[in-house]
Amino acid sequence: GAEAEVEVFVETAEPPLTRDVTLSLGEATHTATEAFRVRPWIGAPIGCAGADEAGPLGSGQYEGLSSLGGDDTIPPHECADWPVAPEGFYRVDLGPSETLRATVTMPERDAIVYLVDACDHPLLSCIDQGGAGEPEYIQWTGPAEPSTVYLVVDGYDYTDHGVFFLDLEVAP
């Protein structure tokens, strides 16, 4: 087949945003609707201290790379015998009785998502329901007073790391 090199320029704007792409080949024109989605990049802070340094996440759509994170900083838990993939920690500050809702999708990999209120504390909640490439959804309602939790994006197996997409909502 034929090959083409495509350069895409996205104006400075607050992500998330989507863009259509139109390609002209000779006299034929082809448009791909919402071909590109640009989300804020959140990296992979290591442990609770790294998440504190990076600052809290608010409601929004994000993209990260768990391959950059630490490895096995949380003890074994009920979701998996021992997740061995690199994980990223993300601080989320909740107001009184606010609810965190998060969906994590790791294309072609099996994500595990869990919450802790401190790195040396037991898990608050954990989810590992889907398989490779399937979204994981976690929901947690905080106590009556303001609180901080750490959303951890991990992988089921040592090969389960890489790019992931996070849709996060913090609401009353």
pTM score, whole prediction: 0.78
pLDDT one-digit tens code per residue, 20-45:
777 777 888 888 887 766 677 787 78
Give pLDDT tens digits for 53-67.
Answer: 999 999 999 998 877
The span from the CA of 124 to the CA of 85, in Å, is 20
Rg of the Cα atoms in the chain: 18
Helix, strand and coil content of the chain, in percent to the nearest 5, comes to: 5, 45, 45
Q: What is the pLDDT of residue 157?
A: 80
∠158-161-162 over CA atoms, to 5°?
A: 155
Which residues share a beta bridge with 90? 151
